[in-house]
Amino acid sequence: MPHSPLDAHVRFDTHPAHSSAVTATLTGTHQRTAQALLAARGFETLDTHAMVLARIDHEEPHWADRAAQALNAQGITTETTPSLREAIAEEWTWANYPMHWCTRAEIREVSNEAQKIYDDIRHGRLIIHAHAEDGWTIVAVGTYRDSGKSVYLHGENHLRQIADTFDSPAQAIAAFERAHGDSLRPGPAPMTETERQTTQARATLTSPDTMPAPAALPVESMPVYAADPGDHEAILNDFLTENGDWEKYRTWGDNTTIVNHESLTLRALIDHDAECRDMKWTIAAYESPVSERLWHATATATTPVEIVRTLLNSLASDYVRDAGPATGVSETEIAEATRPLTDAGWKHTVEGRWIRWEAPGEDAAGVQFDAFAAQKPNSPLPTWTAWGGNTIHQPTWALHFSPHTPAAVLQDLTCELAEGQGRRKVPAATTPRVAMLTPTPAPPRPASAAVSTQTSWPRA
């Protein structure tokens, strides 16, 4: 039975500076009651009259609608703006969702559990002892303060799950170290781009349109592996313009475009919404249009565009198609694939199953070969990893290659890493060096030609 009306009104609206977050504006003498009810449903206070709901699964419209129903049941009047009503009614799905068998409701349940884990970490209820890179994702181990239960976490953002539990922190850490000793790092993993943007949404309602434009920074030239990411959308357009035997044949919503070679055995996919360590590019080769993948590679959104350009051009080249996939990896093939790095003075080391080449100079970069992964055709671990910035476990950008990647592709990549040049904006703290820098910005690229036939929430 509905409660008696209260003198409180809540207006729900879309966030002006975040793609999926929702704001709540409160008025009336009983607004504190409304505030408490909203806080219990994930809204956080910005000021006396404003609250915001920002989640890592981008399901804010759905949960805001649920919150409005709960307030109405308590006698509090609510208003939902037309733009938010449209978002609530919109149907959308994640591109390349790993649990493809899940229904929309089940996906929402998985995401909500990931949100709870994220909130527990953020509010200090779940203490993370260590993290590690496991294949192409992040794993971690932590302990809940209240129960003392320790957990093994797998995945990031809306895919983070509790994969195992332990009776004590000591038991959990020991098991985690046995499984990930070589890549284990203390404490929580760095904040993902999604987490960073949700944090910003909870802090302010300022729209980017009302903020002053930042002053243009000077640009300097440096090795390609230390360059800024650049315009990945323009790379896609350039590639299609230069290769008439490739066709953009499908776009899912606004966020994913697939291009195919006319043989239907080579494919490149770009996720337009991917940012930072998200996988921006996936390329793959097939024996026939209906066969399993022969080999594949991925590149993060922060990968410098000249490196991505080299990878795409290599994929489209006749010599790569004629070469076919590698059937095995010999010492001779490894040496030949990495000869440009050796000639350029990259440091060569061997550590157990890993062989590494690291760039000279101040900017960190490297290439790693995993002999263990190379022995398993269907290994989930990358055989080759190229990275730049920080360390291989927490890189600024990264490329991963599966077993059987043709040696010709790897040779093109290592040659670009050894000899290629790129551009990077100089941080404000170092602008006194402006006299030594190249003042001319990179030539402009054409705008993206991605076409949308559906509507979809852009993932922040």
Tell me, yes or no, whether 132 and 277 share the same domain.
no
Name all contacts of 337-340 with Cβ < 8 Å and 24+ positions apart.
337/407, 337/410, 337/411, 337/414, 338/367, 338/369, 338/410, 338/414, 339/411, 339/414, 340/411, 340/414, 340/415, 340/417, 340/418, 340/419
**Which pTM was predicted?**
0.52
What is the bridge-based pairing of β-strands 77-80 and 9-14? parallel
Confidence bin at 430 (pLDDT 50/70/90): very low
Report, as an integer, the average pLDDT of 99-104. 85
Residue 212 lies in a domain: no
Tell me, yes or no, whether 281 and 400 share the same domain.
yes
Q: Mean pLDDT, the chain, as a whole number?
A: 84
pLDDT at 405 exceeding the cut of 60: yes
Tell me, yes or no, whether 182 and 243 share the same domain.
no
Residue 458 lies in a domain: no
Q: How many domains does the chain have?
A: 3
Please give the residue range of the domain that contains residue 28.
9-89
Q: Cα–Cα distances in Å, from 320 out to 215, 280, 311, 386, 411? A: 44, 22, 11, 19, 11
Residue 210 lies in a domain: no
Residue 445 lies in a domain: no
Tell me, yes or no, whether 27 and 116 share the same domain.
no
Residue 324 lies in a domain: yes
pLDDT at site 350? 94
**pLDDT tens-digit readout, 252-310:** 555 788 999 998 899 999 988 888 778 899 999 988 888 888 899 999 999 999 999 99
Select from 201, 235, 259 the last residue of a domain: 201
Tell me, yes or no, whether 277 and 403 share the same domain.
yes
Tell me, yes or no, whether 400 and 283 share the same domain.
yes
pLDDT at site 173? 92
Residue 452 lies in a domain: no
pLDDT at site 19? 80
CATH of the domain at 80: 3.30.70
Q: In this predicted structure, which of 111-115, 405-409, 425-429 has the lowest mean pLDDT?
A: 425-429
Tell me, yes or no, whether 150 and 238 share the same domain.
no
Residue 426 lies in a domain: yes
Tell me, yes or no, whether 57 and 149 share the same domain.
no
**pLDDT tens-digit readout, 325-380:** 656 678 888 998 999 999 999 999 999 999 999 999 889 999 999 999 888 877 78
Tell me, yes or no, whether 312 and 427 share the same domain.
yes
Q: How far apart are CA 288 and CA 293, in angstroms?
A: 9
Q: In this predicted structure, which of 40-54, 106-120, 395-409, 441-455 has the lowest mean pLDDT?
A: 441-455
**pLDDT tens-digit readout, 17-26:** 888 899 999 9
Select from 54, 89, 124 the last residue of a domain: 89
**pLDDT tens-digit readout, 221-243:** 899 999 999 999 899 989 999 99
Tell me, yes or no, whether 359 and 253 share the same domain.
yes
Tell me, yes or no, whether 85 and 108 share the same domain.
no
Tell me, yes or no, whether 275 and 406 share the same domain.
yes
Select from 89, 124, 147 the last residue of a domain: 89
Name all contacts of 256-261 with Cβ < 8 Å and 24+ positions apart.
256/95, 256/96, 257/450, 261/316
pLDDT at site 143? 95
pLDDT at site 256? 85
Residue 98 lies in a domain: no
